[in-house]
Amino acid sequence: MSLLNDSVFTRRRLLQYGAIALGSGLATACNSNPEASSSPAASSSPAGLDRVTLATDWVAQAEHGGFYQALATGIYRDYGLDVKIRMGGPQAATGTQLLFGKVADFAMSNSTIALNAVAEGVPKVTVAGFFQKDPRCIVAHPGVKDLADLKGKPLFVTPQAVSDFWGLLAKKYGFTDSQRRVYNFNPAPFLADKTSAQQGFVTSEPYSIEKEGGFKPAVFLLADVGYKPYATTIDTTSQMIAEKPDVVKRFVQASTKGWYSYLADPAPGNALIKKDYPEMTDDRLTYGIAKLKEYGIVLSGDALTKGIGYMSDTRWREFFEDMVGFGVYAKTLDYRKAFTLDFVQDLPTSV
């Protein structure tokens, strides 16, 4: 199994935490992305349909299933949209670059990236949050019963963790900088050291570790111990919201229906995922979907009653205040500039 397959969920964070400064080389970066896309062959949209492009944050996978499902089953078309999915990958430009290079109309993101954009003065806005829980987790060896058991033990995390979830671990469990090790998206160091732990995604790394290590690891979802950003959010530009609010609303609502449909019967979406990324296997897709359901990544919290994709000011404020407490953001940052709730009202609550 390739390294890319072994880490389809974690390596994409390299892209998500890339610089969001809009330099002079942006257009070149946007236009040189060789990644595959799912879209009609025609260069123009059928009459009456609005053509939009969604940039994903990594290669096609179960975590993108609702969007692929909405395309595969015609839900987007029912909402008057001709949607192109631009698949991410190791050499792809970031979603922010694609948005401001006018290559994409929407891009996958998360709460941290959105707040970073506010801090940098980048005029993009989160319009929906399709994952109520961030799927990131800490993976440990069998026998570890609580994250507190890992205090002082080697923990493989990305450098970005310091400005992300590390503050929670330090504050709640007494983790120290001395125990951090660099996570290089390879489980080998973790497998070799039975006292260690590593970061990952509940939908990916435990699967790889079971296959390579021959054991089921202990898994601790960070969202269940107090780290509560929205994930698989959808960002767009302030210009798009101002000029085409109806298109934004229809895209969010159709995507919501796509997620309900995917969770009920993922076959159409999975077929399109494998078309975009032939290395994706059925067993990985099955595992990913099962974990999305098991942990309530998509359907939990407000989404249970208000619809998949729903966000609230309360959740955004609480997450921002947590990050201020961890020393990531200044308390003067206007977190409300990161999102709008205009497009998550009256969401569909079923297919």
What are the boundaries of each domain within the chain? 3-133+229-338, 136-225
Residue pair 169/24 in contact (Cβ under 8 Å)? The answer is no
Q: Of the ranges 37-41, 177-181, 291-295, which one carries the lowest mean pLDDT score?
A: 37-41
Average pLDDT, stretch 186-203? 96
> Checking DSSP bridges between strand 180-182 and strand 155-157, what pairing results, if any?
parallel
Q: What is the pLDDT of residues 220-267, one digit of tens each?
A: 999 999 999 999 999 999 999 999 999 999 999 999 999 999 999 999
Average pLDDT, the chain: 89
If one compares 5 and 286, the residue with the highest pLDDT of the two is: 286
- pLDDT tens for 49-106 read 999 999 999 999 999 999 999 999 999 999 999 999 999 987 788 899 999 999 999 9
Looking at per-residue pLDDT, the higher value among 24 and 213 belongs to 213
Q: What percent of the chain has pLDDT over 70?
A: 87
pLDDT score recorded for residue 37: 59
User: 103-153, pLDDT tens digit by residue?
Assistant: 999 999 999 999 999 999 999 999 999 999 999 999 999 999 999 999 999
Q: Hey, do 3-133+229-338 and 136-225 end up sharing a CATH topology, with the first three levels equal?
A: yes
Which band of pLDDT confidence, cut at 50, 70 and 90, is reported for residue 19?
very low
pLDDT at 91: 78
The CATH-assigned architecture of domain 3-133+229-338 is: 3-Layer(aba) Sandwich (3.40)
pLDDT above 50: residue 25: no
Contact 171, 222 (CB under 8 A): no
Tell me, what's the pLDDT at 44? 62
Under 8 Å between Cβ of 280 and 61? yes
* pLDDT tens sequence across 41-51: 334 678 799 99
In sequence order, the β-bridge partners of residue 228 are: none
What number is the average pLDDT over the span 163-178?
95
Q: So what's the pLDDT on residue 85?
A: 98
pLDDT at 38: 63
pTM: 0.88
The alpha-helical segments, DSSP class H, found in the chain are 3-6, 13-16, 26-31, 65-72, 75-78, 95-100, 111-120, 166-173, 188-192, 205-213, 238-243, 245-264, 267-276, 282-294, 303-306, 313-325
Q: In the chain, pLDDT over 90 holds for what percent of residues?
A: 83
Q: Check residue 35 and give its pLDDT.
A: 46
Choose which CATH entry (3.40.190.10, 1.20.1250.20, 3.90.25.10, 3.30.460.20) describes domain 136-225: 3.40.190.10
